[in-house]
Structure 1
Amino acid sequence: MSRTLARRRAAGFAAALAVLGAGIAVAVVAPQRPAQAASTLAQYAEAKGRYFGSATDNPELTDAPYVAILTGGEFDQLTPGNSMKWDTTEPTQGQFSYTKGDAVVTLAQQHNMSIRGHNLVWHNQLPGWVSSLPTGQVQAAMENHITNEATHYKGKVFAWDVVNEPFNDDGTYRTDVFYNAMGVGYIADALRTAHAADPGAKLYINDYNIEGSGAKADAMYSLVSSLKSQGVPIDGVGIQGHLATQYGFPGNMQQNLQRFADLGLDVAITELDVRMPLPETAAQDATQATYYTNVVKACLAVSRCVGITIWDYTDKYSWVPSTFPGQGAPLPWDANLAKKPLYDTIVAALGGPTTPPSSTPPSSTRPSSTPPSSTPTTSTSPTRTPPTSAPPASGRCHVTYQVASQWNTGFTANVTVANTGSTAINGWTLRWTFANGQKVTQSWNGTFSQSGAQVTVTNVSYNGTIPAGGSTSLGFNGSWSGTNAVPTSFTVNGTTCA
């Protein structure tokens, strides 16, 4: 059972309070046990004709809670992070080992998940003997490696990243051992060799920093256009998607994906994560959520974008902290294997419920992607004031305050402001007072401030207008100690609610 579900079950009670006054009715609802399990990322993606996958690696497979989530239905596709690369599969020339790759393939087969092969030719993670080869021996060694590995996994992988990262950021070709020996022709040769070994697999070229328009994306477009015109077997372009909140979102991503698709190629988001400088902040979380949303929507808008793979699903095993010191928190599960609010953002982008984030402790308490020495313990529900209610009355606004999940020192609350009047609300301010010293620690979809026990929330730019019959949702993570009683007094736009 996931930590999120455990918390929700531990907080499995309900209380409702309707507060009436000056034309505003406020309903307060405490957590309820879910009637049924939520749909998964894979299910939402499949409904759109895509897959939703995760990378993984052999060391992680000894972590039973991690594997339970990995294979529990959230994902329908796996990419081995390292176990199919050259240094693992052919560490000594002519001596092949597939034990690690086979372990990932077997896991996928046991859980009806597809496998993306990663990768056959790359300038990095090469055993020393490859880089030391005389120029005249490189082509034969490359072809032998591709043939052996692609034949071994024939029928077990649906796609191969045949050539990985062939370009520098300025769009020039990377001068690795293969390019130095064979020129740009090594790419076509690698694709033809892979096709001969496994004609049924989709063949991709995969690279980073080609998500949006720019020199590198243009170079990739020119390459695959040339390959297509030559009749070289190529089926798709892999768009890695290693993004960062401190940099702008790639421009024209949807249009860029579409131009590759217009060549008759599939495109796939192959290694998605969005890192940030640490410590994590609410502002960076919001940017990260926007970036994930933008990527998902760009893929859904292009019919030949076949799926999305995140580069492992949890901060616990992310590559980011060791590669980019001082950065982390790039994934939708935290280092304790708990879902972040980001998870709900991805669900919404895939066309699922647009409920606010509701599943994890505040990100401000997660200082890095390094697993903490201990994890939060699930607590029983705190003592609460017995639910009371007042008769409903007509009014212009209806507000629902819901404690969605709760753990030993924290909780998540969702708030919905509905306009039940006949005209639009243009700009709103919501206030309440906590009775037990609770503190707002992170928020979304509203500008929160707190002075002592009083909380004030004002609209942000995109949700200030609530049309008649419409609503807007916001939420926050908070801290509590001892008792977490629901608020009993609210004002909306200065009107006090009894």
Structure 2
Amino acid sequence: MGSRAAASRAASLISVLAATAVALVGLAAPAQAAEPVLRDLASAKGIYYGTAVTGSKLSGTYGSITGAQFDSITPANEMKWGSVEPTRGTFNWAGADRVVDFAEANGQQVRGHTLVWHSQMPNWLANGNFSNTELRTIMTDHVTTEVTRYRGRIHHWDVVNEPLNEDGTMRTSKFYTQLGESYIADAFRAARAADPAAKLYINDYNTDGTGPKSNAMYSLVQRLKAQGVPIDGVGFQGHLILGQVPSTLRANLQRFADLGVEVAITELDIRIALPASDAELAQQKAEYNAVTSACLAVTRCAGVTVWGFTDSDSWIPDVFPGQGAATPYDESFRPKPAYYGIAEALGWTDDGGDPGDPGDPGDPGPTTGCAVSYAVQSQWNTGFTANVTVRNTGSTALNGWTLRWTWPSGQSVTQAWNATVTQSGAQATAVNAAHNAAIPAGGSANFGFNGAWSGGNTAPSAFTLNGAACATS
């Protein structure tokens, strides 16, 4: 890495610590100093660790964490056909340029996503009537134009995305319907001609474990290689459900690698039915660890990309109602247990200071005793004000605390003081402010909030403090 990139890296690390000091008020300073840096851990293991990003958000805390923690970024939407060529022959590079410029300023690789896909096509293409020859020319011209623009600046391209159905048959996309399977080879050859140095990938979902779809992908890659098509890698998206990480993931990655191509986990998230409990977050941590470890165990696995690092930028709740909490950071940019699971897979050892990872033996809790008093101070038509007292009934002091509860009547928090309060579904999470992070044995801390209610305002019946159940009054 050159001196300019090193300077940018240093600036990013400084800015993320400054930003999280404001945004992550629930973390005490000593814990911040001990936070693992995923990009450094991954680099030491010979892989990259990346995230998909929304280009318009690459500033503030979002941008700082992106730059400091990840050494590869993927534009979630900015390089798709509908974004860059909304009108035939007229290109809009603003969003894609923003992502690439950010990556270069922060010493990061870029995974270009995606050149040819059945979805998010512009209307002129999706609904246009073209001869087979014209459609093939439109496709190869688009690939050539986009890859040429970023020649030498993109490390991996997802050249063709999601070509298969669930049963392993070819997806009847516009390209396959008119051109047959040859469209894939043509797209790869056009990309190679435009940038001989870029790694060229085929990418799909639900191919993570062995089964009909991954078997079909395996056969497709074999056919492409037999035809001399310049395919360098296979991307396994990794949109997973808690408790359903394929047991054959590692073996599946290995059999593709044995074909002589790179493999990568390209869009990892692990979704949970909301609200996510502490036990489910702990299981998610173990599963992020397992997926990362599977990549590390395969020599030709180039790296892992999470599909958004924060729950505030995740596609899951919009597509799978009632599910979410799928990424390594919560909606307030606080690291979740999954973040530490990734770090541990990459060789990080817990130093005892990660309050964002409830249930970890190195956390400030669980405490040996706690009690919570919850009281509604005032209530009106659709709102209320409540006060919460957290008491340390254990024998040792707390240095940082996280209180969780589940609303029984659909209430929600609208404003809080003396703590940062966030909500996912019915589960609320309160994290200490800087001035009340420490609670001595026998001591207490107070915070309050305004909330909204409709139809009922029943008090929560149970609270956990740093993962331990508390007495209530």
Q: Give the TM-score taking structure 1 as reference length.
A: 0.70
- Counterpart of 1:378 (choices 434, 446, 465) is 434
Specify which of 64, 69, 77 is matched with residue 72 of structure 2: 77
- Out of 201, 204, 210, the position equivalent to 1:213 is 210
Unaligned runs of 5+ in 2: 1-16, 358-401, 407-421, 449-461
SS of the residue corresponding to residue 93 of structure 1 reads coil
Q: Deviations over 1:352-382 (max 9, x none)?
A: 1146752264676764289999986433444
The number of residues matched between the two structures is 382
Aligned counterpart in structure 1 of residue 37 of structure 2, from 34, 37, 40: 40
- Superposed, 1:416-495 pairs within 5 Å as 440-441=464-465, 443=467, 452=471
Deviation at 1:344, TM superposition (A): 1.3
The whole-number CA distance in structure 1 between the counterparts of 2:322 and 2:295 is 30
Q: CA deviation at 1:65?
A: 1.6
Change (3 A) 1:74 1:122: same
Cα gap change, 1:10 to 1:125, in 2 (>3 Å): closer
Amino acid at match of 1:170: D
Alignment root-mean-square deviation, CA: 3.2
CA contact (8 A) 1:117 1:161 kept: yes
The answer on 1:57 being equivalent to 2:81 is no
The alpha carbon displacement at 1:286 in A equals 2.7
Indicate the SS of the match to 1:171: coil
Between the aligned partners of 1:117 and 1:167, the Cα distance in structure 2 is 20
Structure 1 pair 449–201 and aligned structure 2 pair: CA distance change class (3 A): same
Over 3 Å counting, the alpha-carbon distance change for 1:364 and 1:148 in structure 2 is farther
Counterpart residue identity of residue 345, structure 2 = A
1:202 equivalenced with 2:226 (yes/no): no
Map of 1:112-127 to 2, 5 A cutoff? 112-127=107-122
- Give, in whole Å, the separation in 1 of the partners of 2:79 and 2:237: 17
Q: Report whether the alignment pairs 1:251 with 2:247.
A: yes
Q: TM-score, normalised by structure 2?
A: 0.74
Deviation readout 1:36-82 (Å, 9 max, x if unpaired) = 55430111111110111111012322x512111111x2111110000
**Corresponding residue number in structure 1 for 2:93:** 98
Tell me the residue number matched to 2:106.
111
Distance in structure 1 (CA, Å) of the matches to 2:113 and 2:32: 40
Matched, 1:224 2:280: no
Give the Cα separation in 2 of the matches to 1:407 and 1:106.
45
1:319 Cα offset (Å): 0.8
After superposition, give the CA deviation of every residue in 1:321-373 in whole Å (9 maximum; x if it has no partner): 11111111011111011111221121111111146752264676764289999
Q: After superposition, where does 1:294-373 map in structure 2 within 5 Å?
A: 294-354=290-350, 358-359=355-356, 361=402, 367-368=423-424
Q: Indicate yes or no: 2:87 matched with 1:89.
A: no
**What residue number does 2:363 align with?**
none
Q: 1:258 to 1:94 in 2, by over 3 A?
A: same
Check whether the contact 1:265–1:304 (CA below 8 A) recurs between aligned residues: yes
In the alignment, which residue of structure 2 is the partner of 1:142?
139
What displacement does 1:279 show?
1.1
Of residues 328-337 and 2-11 in structure 1, the stretch that sits farther from structure 2 once superposed is: 2-11
How far, CA to CA, are the matches of 1:408 and 1:188 in structure 2?
A: 64
Amino acid at match of 2:207: I
CA distance in 1, matches of 2:53, 2:469: 40
1:183 is aligned, of 168, 174, 180, to 180
Q: Cα distance 1:385–1:252, how it changes in 2: closer, same or farther (>3 A)?
A: closer
Q: Secondary structure at the match of 2:343?
A: helix
Partner of 2:178, secondary structure, is helix
Q: Which has the higher helix share?
A: 2
8 A contact 1:321–1:369 mirrored in 2:
no
Q: Deviations over 1:227-280 (max 9, x none)?
A: 1111110000001111011x5221311000000100110001111111111111
Confirm or deny that 1:278 pairs with 2:274: yes
Asked if the contact 1:83–1:100 (Cα under 8 Å) also holds between the matched residues in 2, the reply is yes
Amino acid at match of 1:102: D
CA gap 1:341/1:2 in 2 versus in 1, 3 angstroms: farther
Task: Indicate the residue corresponding to 1:475 in structure 2.
Answer: none
Distance 1:376 1:2, change over 3 A: farther
Range 359-368 or range 204-213, more displaced: 359-368
1:287 to 283, 286, 292: 283
Instruction: Please tell me the residue identity of whatever aligns with 2:355.
Output: S
Work out whether residues 47 and 303 of structure 2, in 8 Å CA contact, stay in contact via their aligned partners in 1.
yes
The 3-state SS of whatever aligns with 2:30 is coil
CA contact (8 A) 2:54 2:75 kept: yes
Q: What does the per-residue CA deviation read over 1:157-200, in whole Å, with 9 as the maximum and x for residues that have no partner?
A: 01100000001111111101000111011111110111011111
> What does residue 398 of structure 1 align with?
none
